[in-house]
Amino acid sequence: MSGVPASVRWLLLLSLALNVALGAALVLPMVASEHYRGHRSGSHSHGRDHMPNPRHLRRLLGEERASLVDAEVDRHRERIRATFPPLHAARATVHAAMHAEPFDRAALDHAFAELRARDAATAEAVQAMLADVIAQLTPEERARIATSMEMRERERQERREKRREARGEK
């Protein structure tokens, strides 16, 4: 890039910064949204959709315990958010490896391994927040959350079975 004028380099850098900011502005509200958790699908969800999100926890626990959920979400927010850029970068690396010509299987395998590691780091941060909430609950409240999670899993399993049946699979 040494032959490119400094003004062009600055414009490219500014464009990159604006794209990153726009991406963050689009992604972060989804993360906080109940709809995001409920509509995740595909190979990258790895169980995170089996955990209740903060809005669901507040509904299950009622208004008198909502402040407990809010306090733990606030306490863990930065740690959780810090896992997103590396996760998104790992996904981009997978996509780039898939598009690469010539195709390099080892590079794709490495990219998938990195994606699994970043996905695990995100799940770990979210699960730490959830565990801190659950540790402060009464046995009845914990049972309410566990029952809700079990019901959601049964519903997901039923939807998967219906899709398999529709495709003629057993």
Query: Considering only 24-28, 113-117, 164-168, which range has the smallest mean pLDDT?
Result: 24-28
Q: What is the pLDDT of residue 36?
A: 42
Average pLDDT over residues 106-122: 96
Taking the C-alpha atoms of residue 55 and residue 66, their distance in angstroms, rounded to an integer, is 9
Mean pLDDT, the chain, as a whole number? 84
Residue 143 has pLDDT above 60, yes or no: yes
What is the DSSP track for 50-111?
GS--HHHHHHHH-HHHHHHHHHHHHHHHHHHHHTHHHHHHHHHHHHHHHH-SS--HHHHHHH
**C-beta neighbour count of 63 within 10 angstroms:** 8
* Residue ranges of domains in the chain: 1-32, 44-166
Task: Say which CATH class 44-166 falls into.
Answer: mainly alpha
Question: Which pTM was predicted?
Answer: 0.63
The 10s digit of each residue's pLDDT in 40-85 is: 434 344 444 445 688 889 999 999 899 999 999 999 999 999 999 9
